[in-house]
Amino acid sequence: MTVMKIAWESLVPNCIKPDQNTKKNPKEKKVIRTQISFHGIPVSDISSSTLSSDLSISLAGSNIHSFNLQELRVITQNFSTSNFIGEGGFGPVHKGFIDDKLRPGLKAQPVAVKLLDLDGSQGHREWLTEVIFLGQLSHPHLVKLIGYCCEEEHRLLVYEYMPRGSLENQLFRRYSVSLPWSTRMKIALGAAKGLAFLHEAKKPVIYRDFKASNILLDSDYTAKLSDFGLAKDGPEGDDTHVSTRVMGTHGYAAPEYIMTGHLTAASDVYSFGVVLLELLTGRRSVDKNRPHREQNLVDWARPQLKDPRKLRRIMDPRLEGMYSEEGIQNAALVAYQCLSHRPKARPDMSTVVKTLEPLMNYDDSSSMVTFVYTARAESSDVSEKDIQGEDSQKELKKESISSPHHQKQHHHHKNHYKHRKELSPNSPLHNGFKRA
């Protein structure tokens, strides 16, 4: 993992308007920034007229390419519907393919090209935020920015292609295959590592829009954070928080941030807790189609996380009980702490990572014994061939239960019996469970 050291004052040298009237108040102990800035550069002071050339010069050694619009038309077949992937607040996304024929030195790979919708909910400011943060930050659990295009009014971003799409689609899309427990924990751990990296960077970053749709998955279900349009520099020095206009997504934003506009790393921790709840329950953070008491996931689920019996009732039924009892209780403990109404009571993301890492070692059926019973039909009309077929099915099921292969395919069985286990006393969050 690396943090690229780029002097952002040199990133847009021709676009900065120096404010000579700004004087620091010596009596003010805590300076709270009230607008989006990039290491001291207010976005409102950045003009788009010379932005493209400034970015090209300053990002020359960063492996981030400046594409022109025609090149992106070519690789997406003129943004054809056949290459359309999806659409978010930023705008439509199309799949493309780049190689050294397009530009010498380019690695041959599929890419995702995101086109800014000029009439959408996000704009030039968010586009620039994304280029700057992803141009500065590099980590296995952050989506890789390959290049950008800033041509006249057009704003585009080119990312590595993530074949599994978003966690939101994998969890909630109709007819999608249910994610097994081990995969859910892998995704949670990867996303947690991405947030921990941002929070612990030399210049801390608050992500501010952590949600299932912003977690992208590669072919191995490795989670990577995307969409940095709302990200902000974290507080520095004696600052306790960053004061900003409330942005984000309903159902994921921390309550204190919504009420005060005070943004801290703990705000991201709360949002992580919401996503972890979604992974546990298979429910959306907000679902107006459910009964009134169950529409807000946090309000409905958090009070039930401490009781093992209630916890089992709210677990995603599509898991069909294929999980470790100890595993779900420890994961629920992490979610419970992250969702504390007291920001200071929430763990930091490095603690969350340490707590989730051991859960990767639990097999999906480690606390479960599976029984399969096939009753022979009593009807005299049943042929000998049918009976032989049933007997062979019995043998097949018996073999699959005892074979190592069953450990990977056990989620297809529905009948099960689970042994309860106690919470692991070694969990970093175990001792703080009752205090939240």
Bridge partners of 242, per DSSP, are: 263
What is the rounded CA–CA span in Å between residue 4 and residue 63? 11
**CB within 8 A of 408, min separation 6: which ones?**
none
Query: 387, 380 in Cβ contact below 8 A?
Result: no
Catalytic residue list: 209
Q: How far apart are the first and last CA of the chain?
A: 33
Query: 225, 215 in Cβ contact below 8 A?
Result: yes
What is the rounded CA–CA span in Å between residue 251 and residue 288? 12
What Cα–Cα distance (Å) separates residue 235 from each residue in 55, 136, 280, 352?
A: 26, 18, 32, 21
**Angle, CA 280 vertex, CA 278 and CA 283 arms, to 5°:** 40
What is the rounded CA–CA span in Å between residue 106 and residue 121? 32
